Structure formats: structure tokens, C-alpha cells
Structure 1
Amino acid sequence: MTTTNSMSVPPAEIPAQADAGFANDRRKRNIPVATDRRRANNAAEKRRTSERRRLIDPTTCERDYNDEETIFMKAMDRYKRENRRPFPTWSEVLEVLRALGYRKVAEPTDLPGAKRPEQAPVAAD
């Protein structure tokens, strides 16, 4: 048999499985495993019962939070989980605050920790 392409194989010599993909494709086989760690209900149950995710302020490690702080952190955590938003925008944070009932009722004050501008010394005449 003479062909112009030296790499061609006569059709009779091509294995039948080659048409469907690779002959030893392990993805096509069903191999049992001891424990299926990918079960959604198993993973969800572990997350629900785990105490691993605690409310910790990374800048101060652990501290005692007051009731308002705890309520806000739980509300933000719930919002992030329900909306699949690990990093909410500031607009979304404001939405959560409003949903908790916070409203602007007083005039703005200086921000906590903000440096006040130093007053220039007054020159005496």
C-alpha cells in the first residue's frame, strides 16, 4: 500500500475505541473510592457544625465585641453568604446597615482616630 502520507494508518488497523477518544481514558471508568469527600451534604454539614469560623478581628486578634458589633458582623456574614459576595462594595455595606435600622439622625462629627490639623501659632504684634 502506497500513500502520500507516511503517517497514515489503514482503516482496518485503527482500534474501535480510538473513534470515541483515548483508549485508556480514566475519566470514562467508574472507580469506587472509600469516602466521597465531594458530597455536598457532607461538606455543608461540617461547615454548619464547625466552630472554626469565629468572629475574629484580624487587626486585634481576639477581643470582646459589644452587642452592636456582633449584630453587624453577623448581618454582614449572612449577606455575604446569601448573595455569594465575599467582598461586598461599600454600597452593599450601607444597604446592610440600613436593613439593620440605622439612619442618619445627627450632624457628622470627626472620624475616630482622625488627626486634627494643628493650629498655626498666632504671631504677636
Structure 2
Amino acid sequence: MSNLNVTPAPVAAAASSAEGDNFPNDRRKRNIPVAKDRRAANAAAKRAASERRRLIDPTTCERDYNDEETEFMKAMDRYKRENRRPFPTWSEVLEVMRSLGYRRVAEPTALPTGKRESGVSPIPTR
């Protein structure tokens, strides 16, 4: 067992120099000028400026959404946050759609085609 009331002798007193100074070259006692770190303020300004960028989906180019699209995007965002799923599977997307009340009520139709530039032909299949 050890005695908890015993305090160790200070190290500085044991290593004093002949001049009477304790550690005359101690860096902690000197006042050395330090270059100002401008990155912190600069990074904060950039972060504040780029806040808007995170809220915009680059694939949609800030187009106007109808009420159904907005409701679906909010439901997907809520699902991803609550379930910690940044990239949900298609099955999970279908679950969210069903939770919003979407059901198949008509026969399937052809998928909508994307807009193609004039003069560009589709890639031929072999």
C-alpha cells in the first residue's frame, strides 16, 4: 500500500542553474511572435458563402417543383435522415413512395425519354 499524502519534491528546484535562474532557456517563458493564422477566418467566410450551394441539387438546376415533387423530396430527405441512409436502395425509395400513398392504378406506359440534342444519334447496341 502507498501513502497518498506524500507529495513529490518539485523538479525545478532540484535542477536550478548556478545563476539562480530556473531553466534560463525555457521556451515557455519567452514571448515569441507567431504568424496569424488567416485560414480560420477565411474558411469560415467560405463556409458561410457555400452554405447555399449545399442546398441546391446540381442535377435539377434550381427548377421550380410542383407540390408532389416537393412532398416526395421532403419525404426522401426525412427517410434518409431518420434511417441514416445517405444512399437508399430502390426498394427503400419504393417504400417511401408507398408511404406517401402511391399505388399502381393504371397499366404501365413507355418510360419518358430524355431530351436529346439535335444531330446526336443514340449509341448503337451490338
TM range (shorter): 0.3 to 0.5
TM-score by length of 2: 0.46
